[in-house]
Amino acid sequence: MRLVLAWMLPYLRYGRTGRAGSESTNVHVYRDALRSIKTAISALKRRQAGVQTPGASYKILAKRTSMSTSTATSDVVTTDRYYSVPSDAEPDAISGEFAKKLKYYAGGVWRESKTSKYMPCCDPSTGAVIASAPQCTAEEVEEAIHAAAKAFPAWRDTPVTKRTQVLFKMKQLLDEHLDELTYLCAQENGKKWDEAAGDVLKAIEVVEFACGAPQMMKGESLMNVSTGYDTVQFREPLGVFAGIAPWNFPAMIPQGWMAPICIATGNCMVLKAASFAPQSAMRIAELWKEAGLPDGVLNLVTTSRNEAEILLRHPDIKGVTFVGSTSVGKHIYSTAASNGKRVQALTEAKNHALVLKDAVIERAAQGIINSFCGCAGERCMALPVVVVENFVADKLVEAVTRLAKEVNLGPAYDKSTGLGPVVNQGHKDYVLGWIETAIKEGAKLVLDGRNPKVPAECAKGTFVGPTIFDHVTEEMSCGREEIFGPVLCVKRVDSFEEGLQLMNNNPFANGSVIYTENGYFAREFVRRTDGGMVGINVGIPVPLAAFGFTGHKQSFFGDLHCMGRDGFLFYTETKNVTSTWFTGAKIPAKISTWDGTMTR
């Protein structure tokens, strides 16, 4: 009860003073307070009855701290949040809590959508509905684009050193809100606690990297390129970019891979967050405003593919960055490029690891478990296929299976959980469908994760346990196409050469890994693999932001990759300035065809 009273204090302190705004605003504040008190009392009753709401105590604390657009200790209270709770809302049947009605963000204001279509957002650990995301109308998408275009001239003209001050403040805020954002990511996506924290920390990593914009945006110059002539090259922002984000990394991708470098280089952005899991991106958008980002520089919508098409064709959009499936990525690349836009499309993967007979098998098995079970396999740098030399194949399969059986499933926000759920029921059905396909294709099912043991409170969650198939062949689609779940396919070969060729036959080439103690084979692998991100005894070879994310083949469409040097090139264009001055110089009697810049 002390937690409940503590959470009420901001309302009791400011409700009558009008600190939150108008009288009608204060009515909403009181109403929100009453709803949240009811929620807390409901949770307490459930706890007293022996029914534990996963993370309930943290939820009460998170609501209290998130009431402020500043830090948890701020006295500023506002109702301009990324969500509301309708007055006629009913508590969820599973959690006993009220689902949030989410908004869209345009011109620095969170707005209620006029759409009649909302998509439910569920907590995959329990199946409870935690929010509903608007499928924004075409007019609302246009509104977000217009707000970004309007904000661009002033933001472009803001000195880069002042722009980076916003990013320094943003990094501080993200650090301060790390636990809150970790919980939100775990709750809406299903990543276990340390994975969800990594999702947020990877976003922070790119914010830190983008703070180096003054160095990364520097151009080049050469004095006296011809007699009396100098040339200087600048890098300048283009305008408004669209970021179309997936659901599997709700913080890292939209607010790490997409927004920070775009903003640091002087551009504006319209983010399309994933409707399944948009709250992490929305909460971080609130922090951008608190960090001092001018209104309109960052805008955020959730919408269907139909309205998202506007982002690919609108004349005010200068470039599109996308992460998702290969089929959609191809469409986005071809459509946006044909409309004169820059595009980077990061798409599917089917990463393979080659395990040689000299590998340290137990350590390789540990790396493989982390790589195919981590994030429930829902990442494009997962390791869903292992190619192993026959000499050690049985030993490796035994080790991986033994370790996989030790993985405990549970609520994503429980720090003792070893494997969280997949994102929702639809995706669970998709993964289970692939398991059925693999069985029909003749793969040997070594470990079946279709009916995993989970805690009682997770009975309605969307869990798939670690699943292992052995003797997968090239003819089987389960070993070629992306499953995006905790499913491992083992392929057996007789030699390094056979294994490398098998791996390179795959149409995708995000990452590739080799487990070996042999320096010669490691070097040959690095030199000859098609994978764009290579690990030597490293199962998830994701580079730091400074190096970029360099997928190849059908895993990437575009010319400039995400993050790294490529990231700054993608969000800027080159301007060359050649000059000469006449005062005090001898004016030539005749001007050449090349106006003096030709030296021969």
CA distance 113 to 132: 12
The SS3 assignment for 227 reads coil
Helix (H) or strand (E) holding 121: strand 118-122
- Distant-in-sequence contacts of 515-518, Cβ < 8 A, 24+ apart: 515/353, 515/354, 515/355, 515/356, 515/359, 515/360, 515/363, 515/364, 515/367, 516/354, 516/355, 516/356, 516/358, 516/359, 517/358, 517/359, 517/360, 518/356, 518/358
Which residues are CB-neighbours of 167 under 8 A, at least 6 positions away? 207, 210, 211, 213, 260, 263, 264, 291
**DSSP secondary structure code for residue 374 in this structure:** G
The SS3 assignment for 534 reads strand
CA distance 555 to 533: 11
Q: Which of 475, 473, 368, 372 is nearest to 419 (CA)?
A: 372
CA distance 325 to 94: 32
Which residues are CB-neighbours of 126 under 8 A, at least 6 positions away? 54, 94, 95, 411, 457, 458, 460, 461
CA distance 514 to 538: 8
CA distance 143 to 311: 12
CA distance 506 to 540: 18
- Is 557 within 8 Å of 323 (Cβ atoms)? no
DSSP bridge partners of 343: 320
For β-strands 240-244 and 268-272, DSSP reports them as parallel
The SS3 assignment for 93 reads coil
Q: Which of 506, 248, 477 is nearest to 353 (CA)?
A: 506
- Catalytic position from the list 262, 375, 380, 458: 380
Would you state the structure tokens that stand for residue 425, as one six-digit string?
């029921």
CA distance 127 to 91: 14
CA distance 15 to 165: 34
How far are the Cα atoms of 323, 428, 537 from residue 555, in angstroms, in the given order?
Answer: 10, 23, 22
CB atoms closer than 10 angstroms to residue 555: 29
Is 262 in the active site?
A: no
- As annotated, the active-site residues are 380
